[in-house]
Amino acid sequence: MAAILLIEDDALVRRGLELALHRHGHDVRTADTGEAGLREFQAFEPDLVVLDLMLPGMDGFAVCRRIRASGEVPVIMLTARGDDFDVVGGLEAGADDYVVKPAKPTVLDARIRAVLRRGTGTRDGVRVHRDLRIDTAALMVSLHGEPVRLTPTELRLLLTLSRASGRVFSRQQLLEEVWEQSYIGDSRLVDNCVQRLRAKIEADPAAPEYVQTVRGFGYRFGPV
């Protein structure tokens, strides 16, 4: 059972998803505005946030940025449209995944469980790459001896790439291994997560030494 915060302004949608997530075994609290959602976030300390982007007052983009600035709690955004503005904007704000409304409860539950599993990683010891230390048993990452705060998705991406240093992973391979779904052609999830990860572990994200782009193919983890 996971503690889920659902922030959705449509009363019917909110109540329907709340009941469905309860039936799937989750502990759910709800809010109908961005401001109320942030207050509930502080009081509830959820495992995951399901966030509608089109909220009155403070919109979901701003709420997501506030949540992301405060820690590593994963965010799944709900968008009424699957267009680039909503999806890319939400991913750039720090969301881990998205579901297009009307959201089927079984699909949403599957995405929730997949996102929460991303923090489990591969328990095979400690990997040291220059100044980057990845403890795959404790699921902790440090850079220059200082802890690095990663979201579950960012951690799973780093674990996947670093377990085979030098191997090139296509975006589709990363979607299937990290997101555990086959999002055909939707490389935005990968690219935005790579950008966020680089901002946390690279001295110069524009010239990365750890998470490197192989143009036309995908990404690889740099050599030791």
Specify whether the CB–CB gap between 26 and 112 falls below 8 A.
yes
Cα–Cα distance for residue pair 108/166, rounded to 1 Å: 34
* Look-up of token digits 């990845």: 134
- The residues, ordered by sequence, that sit 6+ positions from 202 with a Cβ below 8 Å of its Cβ are 208, 209, 210, 211
pTM: 0.67
Q: So what's the pLDDT on residue 123?
A: 46
Closest CA to 197 of 134, 155, 160, 163: 155
Q: Which structure tokens are listed for 20?
A: 């469905």
In the prediction, which pLDDT does 16 show?
95
* Predicted local distance difference test score (pLDDT) of residue 81: 67
The pLDDT, as a whole number, for residue 119 is: 55
Radius of gyration of the chain (CA): 17
| Contact yes or no for 158/127 (Cβ under 8 A) | no
Q: What pLDDT does residue 41 have?
A: 94
The pair of three-digit structure tokens given for residue 3, joined into one six-digit string: 């503690």
pLDDT of the residue at 92: 83
Instruction: For each of the domains in the chain, give its residue range(s) and CATH number, in order of start.
Output: 3-116 (3.40.50.2300), 126-221 (1.10.10.10)
CB burial of 175-202 (b: ≥16 within 10 Å; e: otherwise) equals beebbeeebeebebbbebbbebbbeebb
Per-residue pLDDT of the chain (224 residues; tens, 9 = 90+): 789 999 999 999 999 999 999 999 999 999 999 999 999 999 988 999 999 998 989 999 999 999 988 877 899 999 876 666 778 888 888 888 888 888 889 989 988 988 887 654 444 567 888 889 888 777 889 998 899 999 888 998 999 998 878 889 999 889 888 887 665 557 888 999 999 999 999 999 999 999 999 998 999 998 65
β-pair partners for 100:
79
| Strand residues in the chain grouped as ranges (E) | 3-7, 27-31, 48-52, 75-79, 97-100, 126-129, 132-135, 140-143, 146-148, 168-170, 211-214, 218-221
Tell me the pairing of strands 168-170 and 218-221: antiparallel
